Amino acid sequence: MIIKHTLLSNDLFGDLNPKDWPISIADLPPGSALVGGSVRDGLLKKLSPKPDLDFVIPVNAIKFSENLSKKIHATFIKLDEKRDIARLVINGWTLDFARQVGENLKDDLLRRDFRINAIALKLKEKPQIFDPMGGMDDLKNNKIVAISEKNLLDDPLRLLRGFRLMCELDFELEQKTKRFLKNNVEKLNNVAPERIKMEVLKIAHSKWNSSVWKTYSELQLLKSWNDDILNDRELKRKDIASKNSLFGSFLAKLIFLLSDEGLSRLMFSKNDIKRCKNLRFWVHKINNLDDLSEDERFQLHIDLEEDLPSFILFLKERDSNSWLKRWKDPSDPLFHPSPTLNGHLLQKAFQLPPGPSLGELIRHLSKEKAYGRFFTDAEALEVARKWTLQNSPFL
């Protein structure tokens, strides 16, 4: 067993590839350990080329980091003066240093959020995995288990992080841990909006499976930021709950997780809010596509051209395949609306002043082209001439 553990420690150390780190292990004080995501991901064989490195050191972390930043010419960031945590950023690497909490490394790990994040690699002459909480067993069993409810409440963002880890790792939440999350959802209101936003972005960019869908519907972790009626019941009525493809759509997941007001409160960009608002509006309106007028259908494609794949996920099977096929054709004039004649040409041909009327004519031509009512520029000019005659009293 000792031999097996030693081999695993050596394999992990080799996979972490310390020779590529921007620091040398010799730069670290004796008793230092690597902890957190890089250790977990290394054991799962899911390391990125430049993983974030989190170190626990037995000395003043801020002072140590500031001195080290000068030596390696890295950007120094003081993250948390009270908890003595600092960050160095250099050449695409992020290195966090935290002072050991408690009398030893075990004390420090016992204060962490989940057992899979409480595995350390002691950076001694012979690297050694240290797993006092049984996190490695959880990795084997694809489980996320909280160390304690108190630890989660020490930083309520950990409640949302548990769900995020479930999404990213395709793991299950252990039942007691799930209860901890469900019973303390309101505590997330005490977390800074920018921290909530970062977790939401990671959740929305991760790949969801049916288990994630059901778990979120049960926990409603973001209910304080979502008063929208796009709920599980409505989603099932729209026949998408069984579509795994939904779980790959960033925008579809955002409108499921957050209302427009919630997006604003969490300081999402104006562009993200606009895209979500458009998608949400049309999702609510698609009880029957056949009921949409020509103008409504055209406006749908104007609003959602970039995000139509997200919208298609909410359509019934009989419509979704044909819509996706047409969207993939860049020459489809309805699914990719575009003006036929530019404004300068129209102004010159029909003596139109710039303004709303010119915009209405350009839109009219785009719509007529989208529905295949002309194919050449000459035909477009004829359509424009008729429109100007019909609307001349208003011009």
- What is d(CA 24, CA 68) in angstroms, rounded to the nearest whole number? 11
pLDDT in tens, 105-116: 999 999 999 999
Residue pointed to by tokens 């790959």: 248
Strand bridging mode 128-130 / 120-122: antiparallel
% of the chain beyond a pLDDT of 70 = 92
- 65-81 pLDDT tens trace: 999 999 999 999 999 99
Q: Tell me the C-alpha to C-alpha distance, in Å, between residue 5 and each of 12, 40, 113, 317, 339.
A: 11, 15, 24, 51, 66
Separation CA 212–CA 167 (nearest Å):
6
pLDDT given for residue 182 in this prediction: 97
Per-residue pLDDT at 227: 78
Residue 141 has pLDDT above 70, yes or no: yes
In angstroms, the Cα distances linking 218 to 80, 183, 222, 249 are 34, 11, 11, 21
Q: In the chain, what is the straight-line distance between the N-terminal and C-terminal CA atoms, in Å?
A: 87
Tell me the pLDDT tens digit for each residue of 146-175.
999 999 999 999 999 999 999 999 999 999
Nearest to 215 by CA among 245, 255, 172: 172
Q: Are 266 and 225 spatial neighbours (Cβ–Cβ below 8 Å)?
A: yes
Cβ proximity of 12 and 42 under 8 Å:
yes
pLDDT value, residue 72: 96
Which pLDDT does position 286 carry in this prediction?
83
Could you give the CA distance from residue 246 to residue 253 in angstroms, rounded to a whole number? Answer: 8
Answer for the pair 188, 221: CB distance below 8 angstroms, yes or no: yes
Write down the pLDDT at residue 134: 96
Number of Cβ atoms within 10 Å of the Cβ of 344: 10
On average, the pLDDT of the chain sits at: 91
| Domains assigned to the chain | 2-141 (3.30.460.10), 143-225 (1.10.110.30), 343-394 (no CATH)
List C-alpha distances in Å: 107 to 1, 31, 116: 25, 14, 16
